[in-house]
């Protein structure tokens, strides 16, 4: 099972890194720069690795928040998990150069590679800098950008399906107040948990849609995901299918594009990611989410070895996956890594 945790996190980071160089390009520009098939391999930066973006940075801080919440719950008997994750996001905000009074402890904040800006989303920055914590019942804004869904896959690794949906929504709503902004996040969290449980992506998507449709204001999100399922079963060029679904800048489109790519190429991690990043829109986010889904389905062995080795923070992400799998440890070393406050 641990290999599926590793696959989910490494897969997401690889998709993020593959899509990052073309995030703001249209397909004509992608083909002009990378050839007729678009971008098909990781681009190595000056540091010798392929760079991750804010998508993976915030995913890492989501993991930290979940593990610190688990520690607090076990040691103090009471915990509000979204608040703990919010504090971890404030640590991420500090790595982006925005001063705030949060404790800067734990091992994640000390990772030097995280202290760099890789096109962070304005909604995440402004919401976290506001000093408020958004909730599903008390939206902080009307944003449905994909900055929620791109960071919540670890929730599905940590909880059962139903709990994952709720916490996925709660954690996204910290920064994104539109229903499609947080429901897409709850849906991804549920989907990851369902994939681990069933090892059947089509069934997991079906179960996720059933759960999604039980929530208020689901229509926008469920309709585009249902369309993605339909398109994956038909014989369209990927570029055309993705164009129908959107560009991925908003939560429901990013998830739908990722589900389309994962369903169509569910036995071929590399092909799915290449499809997921070669379009006009938010390539790193759709690449990351597709990588999360297929990594959880196929395990880390499905990811090309050179992609794993060539990616920034690969070793640290493997450690985070293992820690997420183990959940809790009473040792002093663990307590220093994930303090329960």
Q: Which pLDDT band holds residue 283 (cuts at 50, 70, 90)?
A: very high
Would you say residue 141 lies in a domain? yes
Mean pLDDT value of segment 296-307:
97
102 lies in some domain = no
Work out the average pLDDT over 245-274.
98
DSSP label of 132: -
pLDDT at 208: 98
What is the torsional sign of CA 258, 261, 266, 270? negative
Q: Is the pTM of this model over 0.95?
A: yes
- Per-residue pLDDT, averaged over 251-279, amounts to 98
Average confidence (pLDDT) over 310-332? 97
Q: Whose CA is closest to 187, among 258, 249, 105?
A: 258
Q: Residue 126 and residue 116: Cα distance in Å, rounded? A: 17
Asked whether residue 69 is assigned to any structural domain, the reply reads no
Instruction: Please tell me the predicted confidence (pLDDT) of residue 231.
Output: 98
Q: Which domain holds residue 321?
A: 2-57+135-327
Cα radius of gyration rounded to whole Å, the chain: 18
- Within-domain flag for 183: yes
- Residue 107's pLDDT band (boundaries 50, 70, 90)? very high
CATH number at residue 52: 1.10.4080.10
Confidence of residue 303 (pLDDT cuts 50, 70, 90): very high
Token output for 119:
């096109």
Tracing tokens 């880390």 back to the chain, one arrives at 300
- Which helix (H) or strand (E) element contains residue 241? helix 238-245
CA distances 116 to 83, 111, 113, 152, 266, Å, are: 24, 11, 7, 21, 33
Residue 331's φ and ψ, nearest 5 degrees, are -65, 155
Residues shown for the chain: 341
Sign of the dihedral defined by the CA atoms of residues 270, 272, 278, 284, in that order: negative
Residue 125 lies in a domain: no
> How many domains is the chain partitioned into structurally?
1
pLDDT at 234: 97
Q: Does the residue 73 lie in any domain?
A: no
Q: What CA–CA distances, in Å, run from 246 to 25, 147, 225, 241? A: 15, 16, 11, 9
| Host H or E run for residue 59 | helix 54-76
User: Under the phi-then-psi rule, with left for phi > 0, alpha for psi from -120 to 50, and beta for the rest, what region is 47?
Assistant: alpha
Confidence of residue 127 (pLDDT cuts 50, 70, 90): very high
Dist. CA 156–CA 159, nearest whole Å: 6
Residue 337 is assigned to a structural domain of this protein: no
Q: Residue 205 — pLDDT band, cuts 50, 70, 90?
A: very high
The mean pLDDT of 60-64, rounded to a whole number, is 98
In a domain, 323, yes or no: yes
Model confidence over 146-171: pLDDT tens digits?
999 999 999 999 999 999 999 999 99
108: which DSSP letter? Answer: T
């Amino acid at each position: 099972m641990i290999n599926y945790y590793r696959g989910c996190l490494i897969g997401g980071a690889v998709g993020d890194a593959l899509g990052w160089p073309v995030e703001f390009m249209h397909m004509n520009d992608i083909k002009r720069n990378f050839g007729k098939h678009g971008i098909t391999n990781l681009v190595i930066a000056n540091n010798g690795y392929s760079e991750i973006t804010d998508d993976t940075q915030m995913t890492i801080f989501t993991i930290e928040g979940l593990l610190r919440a688990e520690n607090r719950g076990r040691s103090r008997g009471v915990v509000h998990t979204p608040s703990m994750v919010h504090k971890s996001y404030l640590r991420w905000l500090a790595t982006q150069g925005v001063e705030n009074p949060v404790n800067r402890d734990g091992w994640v904040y000390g990772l030097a590679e995280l202290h760099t800006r890789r096109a962070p989303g304005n909604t995440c920055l402004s919401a976290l800098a506001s000093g408020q914590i958004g909730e599903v019942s008390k939206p902080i804004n009307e944003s449905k950008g994909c900055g929620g869904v791109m960071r919540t896959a670890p929730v599905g690794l940590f909880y059962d399906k139903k709990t994952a949906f709720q916490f996925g929504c709660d954690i996204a709503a910290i920064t994104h107040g539109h229903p499609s902004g947080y429901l897409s996040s709850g849906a991804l969290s549920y989907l990851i948990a369902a994939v681990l449980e069933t090892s059947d992506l089509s069934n997991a998507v079906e179960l996720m849609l059933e759960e999604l449709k039980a929530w208020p204001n689901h229509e926008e999100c469920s309709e585009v995901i249902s369309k993605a399922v339909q398109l994956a079963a038909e014989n369209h060029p990927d570029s055309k299918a993705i164009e129908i679904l959107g560009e991925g800048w908003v939560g429901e489109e990013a998830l739908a594009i990722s589900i389309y790519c994962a369903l169509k190429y569910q036995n071929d991690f590399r092909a799915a990611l290449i499809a997921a990043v070669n379009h006009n829109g938010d390539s790193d986010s759709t690449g990351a989410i597709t990588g999360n889904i297929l990594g959880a389905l196929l395990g880390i062995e499905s990811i090309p070895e050179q992609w794993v080795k060539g990616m920034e923070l690969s070793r640290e992400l493997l450690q985070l996956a293992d820690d997420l799998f183990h959940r809790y440890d009473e040792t002093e070393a663990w307590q220093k890594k994930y303090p329960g406050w």
